[in-house]
Amino acid sequence: MTHKPEMNILLAQPRGFCAGVVRAIEIVERALEKYGPPVYVRHEIVHNKYVVESLKAKGAVFVEDLHEVPANAITVFSAHGVARSVEEEAAARSLPVLNATCPLVTKVHNQGKRYVSKGRKLVLIGHEGHPEVVGTMGQVPGPVMLVQSVADVAALDLPNDEPLAYITQTTLSVDDTRDIIAALEDRFSDLEGPDTRDICYATQNRQSSVRDLSKLVDVILVVGATNSSNSNRLREIGTEEGIPSYLIADGSQLNPEWLKNAKTVGITAGASAPEVLVDDVIDALRRIGPVTVSVVPGREENIEFRLPAELVQRQPRLAPVMQER
């Protein structure tokens, strides 16, 4: 009887949840604990079905529009951010809002507002229709031109000496963004913008770790949702590095055909995918044959974002002790 050779599984580091996702999920969970269900969440809190279903089971109700939220109901804005019109609608209805917008997305909103206040036309590098892009375009007081590719830069209907600035969606490929910024710099003589280092730390770290992983493995599995921008970028990077790469939600989507000639399989996860789904994929690989699992050394992430003040548990103040005389 021939034994199946052991398959090596290498886990990318870092992978999975980032600080903005942890904060957003915690806001919904703490709101449910403090106020009781239902808590209404505008849009998927993060782009992951497992996370959304877990929160639904605890009493969260997900809506795409504020008119679906009853009067006075606790309302959470998703990690992707919202347009000012959404904030204004919530304020007009006096809805109690908890804003789970990632602080790094808010930073992009503020950059855009600052550039426009200086009289510059504004370009947003991002994917049309993505909720973060919709939110950012709706936060900036003035027209925002969306650029998705180098070709879009050439098509901009602006004079080459127009005072211009750019901002970027946080979950893009660092390389794609760099190419578009280079095209903007080539064309426009008066251009301002943040450094590519301003693409969110988690996006960059996960992309770097996939590049490192691709040098060591035969196949890459990216655990994440199909509507997760950063997960899609991770799969694209693996493919660009010449490694067959697949985006899967969990172990049930694993196709054994992908592994036919693979001795070493790399696994990473998008910033909105919980580690339990990585474990599920490893279990699916174990059902195919024996495996060893190890982690590729990578960058440690210790970033935490503060929760909204109303959800932070304060220690009750002790009553002063009356001294006996």
**Which of the residues are catalytic?**
132
Which DSSP string do the residues of 152-174 spell out, in sequence order?
HHHH--S-TTS-EEEEE-TTS-H
Nearest to 238 by CA among 260, 261, 269: 269
**Pair 17, 303: CB distance under 8 Å:** no
Task: Report the run of H or E that residue 219 belongs to, with start and end.
Answer: strand 219-223
Place of tokens 């027209």: 143
Q: How far apart are the C-alpha atoms of 202 and 49, rounded to whole Å?
A: 20
Q: How many residues does the chain have?
A: 325
Cα dihedral 145, 147, 150, 156 in deg (nearest 10): -20
Which residues, including other chains, have CB under 8 Å from residue 150's CB and lie 6 or more apart? 179, 180, 183
Tokens encoding 234: 């991770």
DSSP-based three-state secondary structure for 98: strand
Tokens encoding 7: 């398959």
**Pair 64, 31: CB distance under 8 Å:** no
Q: What is the 3-state secondary structure (H, E, C) of 169-211?
A: CCCCCHHHHHHHHHHHHHHCCCEECCCHHHCCHHHHHHHHHHH
Which residues, including other chains, have CB under 8 Å from residue 226's CB and lie 6 or more apart? 232, 247, 249
Which DSSP string do the residues of 34-56 spell out, in sequence order?
HH-S-EEEES-SSS-HHHHHHHH
Tokens encoding 280: 């599920």
